[in-house]
Structure 1
């Protein structure tokens, strides 16, 4: 993958958690020139462990060969439903960049407290490893976990896709669309 390629396409995936039994994921295909040219949706179980399959399902549903990489807003969504970015990369063959926006002490203790008998969930969280802070040209810091792409290339891609603030545009738009879907009557339509 050539990160400097002007036609680079990223699939940004973000959720809108509504406190229900399911949470909504939106996947938005965005070109490097910030034009949107695709969308897909999925649902995940709040407190479940189906987020990885849902992300892979979004890629499968799009059936596109021109997507160059996947950006995911957070690895832990929908009340500790953990996305396995390495599994997403293996299943899709695409590099994955997971982003978060603030420093934190981590979630291991929260997972132990809420899921005391779920060693698999804790292990899945621990496999995520550490996040790396990257400075953005906007003056903000973004925290990333890259899979199948170097830290340097991931940092360049994140900077190229960040217009303002700290959220790369594919993720910002995906989050807005997921929120809109949750708020609309379309959210009640069966998947």
Structure 2
């Protein structure tokens, strides 16, 4: 598997009371060099994240070069759970979901089933991915690539800390665009 070019997506910070759209940033990397930025919006707790990410990538000039999609967690904008299998089919690209910590699946399940519209469907999407696995100090889920390939991707795209540059940069840009400054950990 070639791992020269990747895109990482993360959402912008938003308040607990926010309803409506949330900004999503994608950063395109060739190795460890930033080559482009994509921007779109997904619905808070909605169901359009995979479609929006696919449209952003496939509608860009970068889609011919990108070989891997990184996601900062399986959901954007609260509980807008990304259907990683659909995203993989639509783009033809492997999808690597990265988290700093393993989620509390019991709490996620309760929140989805008790408070989120379409929560049962979203919970099934998460279950279909299987348990997160530890790799290089982070937790991953993956579609379209092996655990060894996930390890190679993390090694290839990580420069500072444990989070790959496409996700780190998307996080920093999303924070800066929405709040006027970037801060915090990815």
Q: TM-score range by the shorter chain?
A: 0.7 to 0.9
Deviation of residue 118 (structure 1)? 4.0
Per-residue CA deviation, residues 130-166 of structure 1 (Å, 9 max, x unaligned), is: 111012xxxxx11111111111011111122111212
TM-score, normalised by the number of residues in structure 2: 0.87
Per-residue CA deviation, residues 151-188 of structure 1 (Å, 9 max, x unaligned), is: 1011111122111212111100011111122125xxxx
Which is worse superposed, 175-184 or 163-172?
A: 175-184
RMSD, aligned CA: 1.6
- The unaligned stretches of length 5 or more in structure 1 are 136-140, 185-191
Deviation of residue 117 (structure 1)? 6.7
| Partner residue, 1:89 | 88
Q: Distance in 2 between matches of 1:24 and 1:183?
A: 11
Aligned partner (choices 141, 148, 153) of residue 149 of structure 2: 153
Deviation of residue 2 (structure 1)? 2.8
Deviation of residue 126 (structure 1)? 2.1
Instruction: Find the structure with the greater CA-based Rg.
Output: 1
Per-residue CA deviation, residues 13-61 of structure 1 (Å, 9 max, x unaligned), is: 11113133221111111111x1111111110111111111111112122
Three-state SS of the structure 1 residue aligned to 2:89 is helix
| Partner residue, 1:38 | 36
Q: Distance in 1 between matches of 2:86 and 2:78?
A: 20
| Partner residue, 2:46 | 48
- Equivalenced residue count is 174
Q: After TM superposition, where is structure 1 displaced by more than 6 Å over at least 4 residues in a row?
A: none
| Partner residue, 2:74 | 75
Three-state SS of the structure 1 residue aligned to 2:90 is helix
Per-residue CA deviation, residues 71-126 of structure 1 (Å, 9 max, x unaligned), is: 11111221211001111110000111111110232111221221377422222232
Q: Distance in 1 between matches of 2:41 and 2:117?
A: 25
Q: Distance in 2 between matches of 1:89 and 1:117?
A: 22
- The unaligned stretches of length 5 or more in structure 2 are 181-186
Check conservation: 1:102, 1:143, Cα contact below 8 A: yes
